Structure 1
Amino acid sequence: MIHNVGTQLRRGLASVFSSRSSRKSISHAENHSDAMADGQGYRNPTEVQMSQLVLPCHTNQRDELSIGQLLKWIDTTACLSAERHAGCPCVTASMDDIYFEHTISVGQVVNIKAKVNRAFNSSMEVGIQVTSEDMGSEKQWTVCKALATFVAHHELTKVKLKQIIPQTEEEKTEHGVAAERRRMRLVYAETIQDLLASFPIKDDMENRDCSHMVPAEKTYVESVELVLPPHANHQGNTFGGQIMAWMENVATIAASRLCRAHPTLKAIEMFHFRGPSQVGDRLVLKAIVNNAFKNSMEVGVCVEAYRQEAETQRRHINSAFMTFAVLDADNQPRKLPWIRPQPGDGERRYREASARRKIRLDRKYIVSCKQTEMPLSVPWDPSNQVYLSYNNVSALKTLAAKDNWVLSAEINQVRLYTLEDDKFLSFHMEMVVQVDAAQVFLLLSDLRRRPEWDKHYRSVELIQQVDEDDSIYHVVSPALSSDAKPQDFVILASRRKPCDCGDAYVIALRSVMLPTQPETPDYSRGETLCSGFCFWREGDQMTKVSYYNQATTGLVNYLTTNVSGLSSEFFSTFKACEQFLLNNRNDLAPSLQTL
């Protein structure tokens, strides 16, 4: 059942996939596929589309669509989608990181599509896709993707939202991963502080050319805006998209003061609305370059509100960090001057900008990278642990949500499904046990107990307890043959409890690299890209247990024995797991109760 169970998979592949046409395929979206075939088309009921022709009045100093204007359109489209689901007014709570992949010129069309991925209690995640279209050539480009959180309000009280029921494979994936993204948003600030506290960011200011340094105070911008009726939304509050546009404006000015050129906005790190403002409020917008790197700079922006000129207590409305670059005639980034931070608070912002850059680069690699392009073992580091954990869980949920699993065999109510997809071959085992789902989750979360039922786990050592939900283990497996070395694995185990009723318990497993656990001559280092368990409650004291494993072609030999016949390796291991759960159904699992 682990990542190297047996050596004869190739023998079984021909019989598995040659008989695929006669096997039963799992598909929860057959009705919707039929509708698509009939020309009716399935459309998410919360989906909203907006198309805008870019006019000269929408552009910036480079005759490109102003990002501020784009943010207004994005926020409007997302709000309409949120309100379509909620049936009442909604306000923007936050907008996640946005990476701009393409600029948009005058005369091109901007197409924005938004739909609700998941609703929680009173908040919901809205996914947004932005593309540009050239009317002359019919070419289209991806501009950016965004995720916004909206909160439903009715007469100043929060609204309990109805749940989203995903229909397509894409919707199921987004619905499942939305809970993990929500968790990631909540711990982001802690990640920055932990990184700075545990691993101080080293700076090479001593090696920098001081003659090309710009004092940070020279980039400081402060601007005030009076909120007028045209700036308000349909609820009377200041339109969130307008605030974001004003923030982009002052940030661009600050960036221009460093480079003395017209900068290009490349990324935005999370707008976070901390409170509303209304018509008549004065909004003070402040921006400063926090740090400059070789080809990019970070600008910090914050917004404060006050009502009367004599008012001394200002309300913090929003804040964000924006990354700019200066592009030459060949659209390549130019080298930027260094920044000299202000003493005290400026030095703190300077160090935090370096930490955010490291996290941003790691996140871009882990989250944005296609799974087929990612190495199996990614180095574990405080700057990427949140995103590596996120990727671990989301990869398993994405695998579980796929519709084209094929039932290959069934013996004694244990089912084996297979999936051949791109460069991967995956299998999925499923059974129902008479043990409560929460207890199953506790028993299987601690990998140290896995040798009790899985002979392919010879020994398991807990290397690092990252937090209450993530642990790193060193696993040793027996040799595949008499003349081979035993295998070892360094495994990140990410466990998640259900976010809502009907969600699965999740235990996601993937390989990571740790400096403290290098390869040794005694073992052959094995790797796994995506594997783990999902558990669903099937009734009182009944749980559906599903195990998933995904492997590249190079790891096929280490998956299992003959798949087509549901060999004794699969059957005996999974039945041993069932017996382990039944024998320990009343176990308090003290090793996990303290986590």
Structure 2
Amino acid sequence: MTSNEELLLELRSLKQRLAEIEQHLCSSTSADVASSSTTEGKTSCDAAAAAAQPAGTPTSAHSHDNPASTASPAAAAASPDAAAAAAAAAAAAVPAVPLAPLLPESVPMDATRIVMHQIVAPTEVDALGICFGGQVLSWIDVCAGLSAKTLARGPCVTISVDAVHFFRPCRRGDVVIIAAMVNRTFSSSMEVGVKVEAENMRTGARRHCCSAYLTFVSLKGKARPQQQQQDKALPPSQQQQQQQPKQGLPRVLPTSSEHRRIHIQADARRQQRLAARQAAAADPQRAAAAAACRLQPITHREGCPTLPPSLSLTRYSPAASFTTSSQNPTPPNPTTDPAAAIAAAVAAMEAAAGQQQQQEEEAQRQRQQRGRLVVSDSGVRRRVPPSATTAYMTQSVLPQHANTLGITFGGQVMSWMEQCAYISASRLRGTHLLTAGMDSVTFAASTKVGDILYITAQVSAIFGASLEVMISVFGETPADGNVFHCADAFATLVVTDLQGAPTHIPFELEPSSAAERLRYEGAQQRRAERLAMRGAMAAVRTARASLDGCSPGSEPAEQQQLLQQQRSLEAVVEGQQLMQ
């Protein structure tokens, strides 16, 4: 953008501001003139009535009681000024309508950039020291909301979140850097892009964790709950004055080639969202299938158990099958047969050495199987119904969970959804669980402070070392007892061992009902789409600029070598932590 264009935009915004101030002053002046004319008209009418009475005619009894009727001529002459002063005082008592900040027609994309720093606390990590995915999603929503609020100059709410894939974990003690920027604005909505990086405080190495795209809607014309109660107490005329005209969002202007690419891609993503929404609305069978797959909440009306019976599994371990007489020999009696005692000791040593070698070979074979994710059909995996993995959560929306309008943060809801999915996946008795990603979430309805959230999760499919969990969220307003649907989501979790290596899941789902089969069939299709999207995002993130504006491809050779050394040192430190 040239300097002349910037000056024209600034001049245009100043003209609009002056016009709005002039209109406000004209309305205030007309109100004062109307009140003054009413007072003067009443005074002139009283004077004319007094002049029309004949001389010596007594006034009414009410006029004798009125102090103003017995006032001196000087006081009567000063009465118009007193009436005008009283009218001015009454006008001042009426609360003035604050001028809404005038939004510019366009803003540079850099002006909407917000950066947050968060340190991963011990209360936000699991047993391996890895930050929960739900906590990261909550930080993403807060940072994106700040960026949207900066542009709209008013409250905004999260409408949807595109799929989020976690490439690298955030560990305990790391500094998580979250950067958000408005990619493009539309009539009343906008897309905000967020990038998350984690920096190791000891080595200084920084790694890309995940990226997200969120859609926000501006609620600038909507007042806060306290302001709504105050507006209801005002007269209707003043309520109309309090209502401010709704303004459109400013256009976001890209200022670089990278920003222009992001700006174009934001419009393409919006078209994809609208096309998917229209396709879902035009297909009644698809909508009916989604409603049938939806998990129903457990409420205080239904007295069913909160958790299904616990799953148990008898694992087959070849290393435990060497229970021969050589491993537990009958102890000889050295007092009666010394030679037999010596021979038995040698045999025991040889058996122990052979057993240790066999155990090492079996452990090596199992590690190779985990690396290839090969699962044998020797009865290791047990078939279980999906209903055995159902988990329930009930949450009350408190003031710290909502924005200034009392509407629940979308990131807080996603954090609760991830927790419920974690509980459901834990029913499969995995050694450890990591959240690999969450598919796109669209909020069908919002909840407010005081509402109750019912969150239900169930494993819909198992794929070797990973599994998909479906989550459904319902809300309830205690005042009327109405239970309504809020959102559906699908989370992907990976089962790992204590060293972080993926390991196979010893269970296999056996869907029986029509809804369970629909979820299982849909999971196969979603997994194919998820893998393709994850591969595309992994290819893009290698060429993406860092949060400090440094592109990986533009780094000098010395910096690239130093970065490689930092990464190697970081790997050594992480290995020492795991050994400890």
- TM band (smaller chain): 0.5 to 0.7
Deviations 1:422-481 (A, max 9, x none): 9xxxxxxxxxxxxxxxxxxxxxxxxxxxxxxxxxxxxxxxxxxxxxxxxxxxxxxxxxxx
Tell me the residue number matched to 1:317.
Answer: 486
Task: Please state if 1:256 is matched with 2:344.
Answer: no
Q: Equivalent residue for 2:151? A: 85
Q: How does 1:24-423 map to 2 (within 5 A)?
A: 44-156=110-222, 160-188=248-276, 190=279, 212-308=382-478, 311=481, 313-336=482-505, 337-366=507-536, 368-370=538-540
Query: RMSD in angstroms over aligned alpha carbons?
Result: 3.3
Kept in 2, the 8 Å contact 1:251–1:300? The answer is yes
2:153–2:220 Cα contact (<8 Å) kept: no
Q: Does the Cα contact within 8 Å between 2:432 and 2:497 map onto a contact in 1?
A: no
Structure 1 residues 300-326: Cα deviation after superposition (integer angstroms, max 9, x where no partner)? 111110112872x42111221100101
Question: Closer, same or farther in 2 for the Cα pair 1:210/1:372, shift >3 Å?
Answer: closer
Q: Per-residue CA shift, 1:12-54, capped at 9, x if unaligned?
A: xxxxxxxxxxxxxxx999x99xxxxxxxxx9800000000111
| Preserved CA contact (<8 Å) 1:152 1:159 | no
Matched residues in 1 for 2:130 and 2:536: separation? 30
Cα distance in 1 for partners of 2:431, 2:455 equals 22
Report if aligned partners of 1:268, 1:321 keep a CA contact under 8 Å in 2: yes
Counterpart of 1:279 in structure 2: which amino acid?
Answer: V
TM-score (norm 1): 0.51
3-state SS of 1:260 partner: coil
Distance 1:212 1:156, change over 3 A: same
Alpha-carbon distance, 1:159 to partner: 5.2
Give the CA deviation at 1:93. 0.6
Alpha-carbon offset, residue 349 of structure 1: 0.8
- Aligned AA for 1:81? S
**C-alpha separation in 2, matches of 1:28 and 1:339:** 62
Question: 8 Å contact 1:71–1:245 — kept in the other structure?
Answer: yes
TM-score (norm 2): 0.52
SS at match of 1:180: helix
Which of the two has greater helix per residue?
A: 2
1:580-595 to 2 correspondence within 5 Å? none
Task: Tell me: CA distance 1:300–1:159, structure 2 relative to 1, closer, same or farther (3 Å).
Answer: farther
Cα displacement string for residues 366-399 of structure 1 (whole angstroms, at most 9, x for unaligned residues) = 45435999xxxxxxxxxxxxxxxxxxxxxxxxxx
Cα separation, 1, equivalents of 2:408 and 2:269 = 27
Aligned equivalents of 2:187, 2:150: Cα separation in 1: 16
The AA in structure 2 aligned to 1:316 is H
Give, in whole Å, the separation in 2 of the partners of 1:355 and 1:90.
Answer: 34
Deviations 1:111-148 (A, max 9, x none): 00000000011111101000000111000111101111
- AA at the equivalent of 1:187: A
Deviates most, 274-283 or 111-120: 274-283
Q: CA deviation at 1:282?
A: 0.7
Q: Which amino acid aligns with 1:142?
A: H
Q: Which runs of 5+ in 1 are unaligned?
A: 1-26, 33-41, 198-206, 374-420, 423-595
- In 1, the alpha carbon distance for the partners of 2:446 and 2:272 equals 24
What is the deviation of 1:63? 2.4
Q: Distance in 2 between matches of 1:235 and 1:159?
A: 19
Decide whether aligned partners of structure 1 residues 56 and 251 sit closer, same or farther in structure 2, where only a CA change above 3 A counts: same
Return the letter of the residue paired with 2:142: T
Provide, for residues 228-261 of structure 1, a one-character-per-residue CA deviation record: whole Å limited to 9, x for no partner.
2222222211122211111110000001112433
Structure 2 counterpart SS, 1:326:
strand
Q: 1:261 to 1:329 in 2, by over 3 A?
A: closer
Q: Is the 8 A contact 2:134 2:416 kept in 1?
A: yes
Contact 1:64 1:105 in 2 (8 A): yes
Q: Is the 8 A contact 1:217 1:342 kept in 2?
A: no
SS at the partner of 1:64? coil
Per-residue deviation, 1:88 = 1.1
Describe the SS at the equivalent of 1:93.
strand
Q: Is residue 228–residue 279 contact of structure 1 (8 Å, CA) maintained in 2?
A: yes
- Secondary structure (helix, strand or coil) at the match of 2:496 reads coil
Q: CA deviation at 1:211?
A: 5.2
For residue 264 of structure 1, what is the amino acid of its counterpart? Answer: L
Hey, what's the Cα distance between the residues in 2 that align with 1:94 and 1:123? 11
Aligned residues: 329
Distance change >3 Å, CA 193–CA 361, structure 1 → 2? farther
**1:525-576 CA distance string (max 9 Å, x none):** xxxxxxxxxxxxxxxxxxxxxxxxxxxxxxxxxxxxxxxxxxxxxxxxxxxx
For 1:179, the aligned partner's letter is D
Deviation at 1:192, TM superposition (A): 13
Taking structure 1 as reference, are residues 137 and 340 closer, same or farther at Cα in structure 2, changes over 3 Å only?
Answer: same
Identity across matched positions, percent = 34
> Matched residue of 2:413: which SS?
helix
Aligned equivalents of 2:521, 2:206: Cα separation in 1: 39
- After superposition, the C-alpha distances for 1:83-112 in whole angstroms (9 at most, x for unaligned) are 111111100011111110111121110000
Equivalent pair of 1:192/1:355 in contact (CA under 8 Å): no
Within 1, Cα distance between the matches of 2:380 and 2:123? 41
Say whether the 8 Å CA contact 2:435–2:493 is kept in structure 1.
Answer: yes
Q: Secondary structure at the match of 2:472?
A: strand
- Distance in 1, matches of 2:282 and 2:170, equals 36
Q: Give the C-alpha shift of residue 185 in structure 1.
A: 2.1
**Structure of larger gyration radius:** 2
More strand by share: 1
SS of the equivalent of 2:126 reads coil
CA contact (8 A) 2:460 2:520 kept: yes
CA distances 1:154-211 after superposition (whole Å, capped 9, x unpaired): 23397521111111111100111111111222334749999x99xxxxxxxxx99695
Asked if the contact 2:185/2:252 (under 8 Å) is kept, the reply is yes
- Tell me how far apart the structure 2 counterparts of residues 261 and 372 of structure 1 sit (CA, whole Å): 31
